[in-house]
Amino acid sequence: MTAIESIGLMEPMLPLDGERKLEDLAVDLATKASGLAGQLPPTVRLGVGDLVRSMNCYYSNLIEGHDTHPRDIDRALAHADYSADPQKRALQHEAVAHIEVQRLIDHREDLQVETTSTEYITWLHREFCRRLPEEFLWVENPDTSEHLRIVAGELRKGWVQVGRHIPPKAEGLPHFLKRFEEAYSTDKLSRVRQIIALGAAHHRLLWIHPFYDGNGRVTRLMSHASLLRCGVGSSLWSAARGLARNVQEYKALLMAADEPRRGDLDGRGTLSTQALTAFCAFFMTICIDQVEFMASLLEPNDLLRRMRLHVEEEMQAGNLPKGSFLILREALLAGEVPRGRTPEITGYGERMARNVVADLTKKGYLKSESSRAPLVLAFPIDAVERWFPRLYPAT
């Protein structure tokens, strides 16, 4: 019978109390995140949330080495238009899977249990994997070349190695995951400690590596859900973008936090307290940077300026009808546009105003729940690249 490893191998689970730098970062993140949502009307926030989910998926998959072009993601989401190329098609399905699971989280349709519980973590894996194409549900054992099928929501049953790190044996996973849940239970932590714990939980779940594959995506989705639950997260920003743009530092700090204690001044756990503290500081700094980035993009006056420049260019080129910007501006500032007000907004007669709305709807700038429902702002991929510069890497 295989001996179960001691859960003490994973300690410490949190940085030391009283780390002033971490506490200041946690307060800064909470303060800046609280003001972000207030910049936009609720209906516009929903539209931006859809956009950010797509961005989050793009960057999360990029960290795993899966580069799916934003336009390919948009075609799959908006039009169920999948590439004829098998590899591109599989990556599109993977992207849609990630977005659908995050949508459940953002809309509070996920499991209402602790996000660090085994139940929640296996739910994330199950929901993600059951949406994947068959070719993404197999991994190869590098030592034996054996092909193993990934079962959605099922903990791994064998040994794995991730770089230099050897995660716990399969037999001990339930014990490590139980300790993981206990350590990060929100009932036991103040709000500031909950925010500090986000980075620690992110690392320790990757350290446990509970599944044969999908651990990175599951961990980032868990972190997104945990940010939402503790009141600093939002569908309007994504930590994954910051992690992907600093991927070398991200991976280096993860590896450093895998290392054993460096001496008597490095805590009393098996693993390095200093390295875990450094990763927590890095994680919160990334979050703050991404909140600030999205706040700058969503500042109404600057966003309106970018929209106006782009729409005017499109009108001059004959791609959009005159009067387009007036309706789009109203949709941004008011949140929705009653159809009966479009003649007043544009200064056109009813028929011409209706034609402007029809063209904007056809081209994805406006949407509505029905032919009589109010119009709300939408974000076609061509507009995204102009309205939200630097959201994606330059291509």
pTM of the model as a whole? 0.92
CB neighbours (10 Å) of residue 137? 17
Which two structure tokens, joined as six digits, stand for 358?
A: 């029809």
pLDDT in tens, 64-104: 988 887 888 888 877 777 888 888 888 888 889 999 999 99
The whole-angstrom separation of Cα 247 and Cα 329 is: 37
Digit-coded pLDDT (tens) for 205-254: 999 999 999 999 999 999 999 999 999 999 999 999 999 999 999 999 99
Structural domains of the chain ordered from first start: 39-298 (1.10.3290.10), 300-387 (1.10.10.10)
> What whole-number distance in Å separates Cα of residue 205 and Cα of residue 183?
12
pLDDT per residue over 249-300, tens digit each?
999 999 999 999 998 888 889 999 999 999 999 999 999 999 999 999 999 9
**Among 292, 68, 255, CA closest to 165:** 255
Please report the pLDDT score of residue 263 as a whole number: 87
Of 150, 98, 106, give the one whose Cα is nearest residue 124: 98
Q: Examine the pLDDT at 395 and tell me if it is beyond 70.
A: no
| DSSP output for 211-263 | SSS-HHHHHHHHHHHHHHHTT---TT--HHHHHHHTHHHHHHHHHHHTSBP-S
Q: What is the per-residue pLDDT for 272? A: 96
- Backbone phi and psi for residue 375, each to the nearest 5 degrees, phi listed first: -90, 140
How many residues make up the chain in this entry? Answer: 395
Do residues 125 and 226 touch, judged by C-beta distance below 8 A?
no
